[in-house]
Amino acid sequence: MVNRTKVSLCGIEMDNPVIPASGTFGFGYEFAEIYDINCLGTFSFKGTTKEPRFGNPTPRIAECSSGMLNAVGLQNPGVDAVIAEELPKLAKCFHKPVMANVSGFGVEEYVYTCEKLDKEPQVGWLEVNISCPNVHGGGMSFGTDPAAAAEVVRAVKAVTTKPVIIKLTPNVTDIVAIAKACEEAGADAISLINTLLGMRIDLRKKAPLIANTTGGFSGPAVFPVAVRCVYQVASAVSIPVIGIGGVSSAEDVIEMMMAGATAVEVGAANLVNPFACRDIINDLPAAMDKYGIDNLADIIGAAHK
């Protein structure tokens, strides 16, 4: 039987293009307790840094209409603990290559963490996050300047053999210039978008709702921004693009792919419904039939033609 949902991302075949986004799926094994996560194309695990991080003070999540704000601040146990503890647990329940999400506060930190994760056989891709709006020093600062973004790419590519995907922020004037700089520096793919910078105020306390003051805004409200960014970048680079931002249905996946995405990450929807990705994958064949799509791979960039 032909797999109509199959796609290839940087030379690695995936059963479907659906990927839970980093920070919304932990290290996978919690979700494996409620459904077989091997139905996923892959998933991007929790953002990992060189050293352990406690994250930002609480409160660090706030609900908004059509979305949410978060300023978790890359809470994670550090790369050594991820390799020693998290990956062995994951290997018991997920039997496909996983996407490792890496953050840092300096070029040398990105290099250190990527070099370590590159040696892990379970890791298929390295998704390098140069776009987190909730950490001070590093994070998004690399993703807002083409030269700084390219510097990270070149440094990471020098110490890795696996595909390097650069995750970009929408909080810039020209996302295309940054994507092109990453491609020229050797990036194998671009994932976009990370969260938009947002804020809410508690009317009773007359103070910001979250302790970090601002946070990353995600959820259905950002979907049109994400589609626009994917469309613009996909028409400017020749490497694959992964679409992220507000995706919550099989139709959203198809729209992202028509905009130019090879694969699609699902973020906030997992926090609303832990079965979101499974349900989207199950709904894809019927949605494809509805729009006369034989194979998903055929529609990548269809809106550009």
CA 151: distance to chain centroid? 20
Tell me if residue 132 is catalytic. yes
Q: Which of 10, 64, 114, 132 is catalytic?
A: 132
Mind spelling out the 3-state secondary structure of 52-85?
CECCCCCCCEEEECCEEEECCCCCECCHHHHHHH
| Residue 101: inside a domain | yes
| Residue 284: inside a domain | yes
| Residue 1: inside a domain | no
Task: Walk along the chain (305 residues) in steps of 10 and give the mean pLDDT of each run.
Answer: 92 98 96 98 97 92 92 93 97 98 92 98 97 55 87 97 96 95 98 95 96 94 98 98 98 98 98 97 98 98 93
Pairing of strands 263-266, 18-20: parallel
Number of domains comprising the chain: 1
* H helices, E strands: number in the chain: 11, 15
Query: What is the CATH classification number for the domain harbouring 79?
Result: 3.20.20.70
| Residue 204: inside a domain | no
The whole domain housing 294 covers 7-60+74-197+218-304
Reported as a single tens digit per residue, the pLDDT across 73-90 is: 889 999 999 999 999 999
| Residue 298: inside a domain | yes
| Residue 202: inside a domain | no
List all residues 6 or more positions away from 32 whose beta carbon is below 8 Å from its beta carbon. Answer: 93, 94
Reported as a single tens digit per residue, the pLDDT across 224-248 is: 999 999 999 999 999 999 999 999 9
